[in-house]
Amino acid sequence: MKENNPFSLQGKVAVVTGAAAGIGKACAQRMAYSGASVLLSDIDVAACQRLAAELNEQGFDARAIQQDVVLEEDWQALVAELKQWHNRWDILVNNAGIYIGGRLEDNSVEQLTRIHEVNVQSVFLGLRYAAETMQPSGCFGRGGSVINLSSIAGLIGVPGHSIYGATKGSVRSISKHSAVEFARFGYGIRVNSLHPGLIDTAMAEQVYDDFVDVGLTQSREEASAVLEQQMIPMGRLGTAEDIANAALFLASDASAYISGAELTVDGGFTAA
């Protein structure tokens, strides 16, 4: 491999939210292995500290921070931490998110508000602090790449996914608007949305439970069989690493001309 590898993140500083588990954890690892200094944020700071220590032992640069992505003051604290750490910020993966399922008539306004806070307000705040600090006149000033975790649920309809899908549609849309705005104003900040299909994390387990709860299938086993055999052309769930590789591509200079795009990684789910 040549030294000027366009997929390398050498020297760059990345923030991954929801880095304690699942897709976020895999993104943090992949980015650290690719040379980035990675700030791991999650409400579960203990898990992030363990992961940071593990990465440090392997010779990679990582640090943990406790952050509730819903809270503006936690984003301010994150920016302060970045200033003090390497005084640099290049990459943001807005990954933290929750799933709330159920038939639409059983969902409450409280659920709707909560899922929008965690899945949309978080992305808005992340974009806002990235825009302010990464643009040429900002304190970091080098431009950057923001990757927002949407979902195929932000593209298509799935029973039990109405309020979750609404948040992921919002993420898709705010990604496009901010991408166009940041490009037009010369911020040098690229924004893209990443649309995983069903990925084998704790969230997939919740989706199986929800298939049973809403009455789509009798059992979790049946839910898994229906999803894998009937809904996913490749016949299997994706792995968190599959998504992390796509996030790495979008974070790296290899995607320098990609902004406002949707990258779907779903084993063919939405092609059918």
Partner 1 sequence: MSIHCKDKVVLITGAAKGIGAAACHALAAAGAKLAVSDIDQDAGRELCEALRAEGADAEFFPLDVCDEQQWQHCMETVVASFGQLDGVVNNAGIAVICGPEDESLEGWRRTQTINSDAVFLGSRAAIQTMKARGGSIVNVSSIEGIVGDPMLPAYNASKGAVRALTKSLALYCADRDYGIRVNSLHPGYVETPLVSGALAKLSEDDANAFATRVVASIPMGRMARAEEIAQGIVFLLSDAASYMTGSELVMDGGYTAR
Ligand X SMILES: NC(=O)c1ccc[n+]([C@@H]2O[C@H](COP(=O)([O-])OP(=O)(O)OC[C@H]3O[C@@H](n4cnc5c(N)ncnc54)[C@H](O)[C@@H]3O)[C@@H](O)[C@H]2O)c1
Q: Interface with partner 1 by CB under 8 A: which residues?
A: 1-2, 5-8, 33-34, 176, 179-180, 183-184, 186, 197, 233-235, 238-239, 242-243, 245-246, 248-249, 254-268, 270-272
Question: Is 125 a residue that touches ligand X (CB under 6 A)?
Answer: no
Nearer to ligand X, 52 or 203 (CB): 203
- Using CB distances below 5 to 8 A depending on partner kind, what does residue 173 bind out of partner 1, ligand X, none? none
Question: Is 98 a residue that touches ligand X (CB under 6 A)?
Answer: yes
* Residue 164 among the catalytic residues: yes
End-to-end CA distance of the chain: 37
DSSP H helices in the chain: 22-33, 45-57, 72-85, 109-116, 122-134, 162-184, 202-213, 220-225, 240-251
Nearer to partner 1, 109 or 272 (CB): 272
- Please say whether the beta carbons of 100 and 153 come within 8 A: no
Within 206-245, which residues bind ligand X (CB under 6 A)? none
Instruction: Give the three-state DSSP class for 39.
Output: strand
Question: Is 69 a residue that touches ligand X (CB under 6 A)?
Answer: yes
Name, in order, each residue with C-beta under 8 angstroms of 82's C-beta and a sequence gap of 6 or more. Answer: 13, 15, 39, 88, 89, 133, 140
Nearer to ligand X, 13 or 70 (CB): 70
Among 199, 244, 246, 248, binds ligand X (CB under 6 A): 199
Q: How far apart are CA 226 and CA 8, in angstroms?
A: 39
Q: Which residues are catalytic?
A: 164
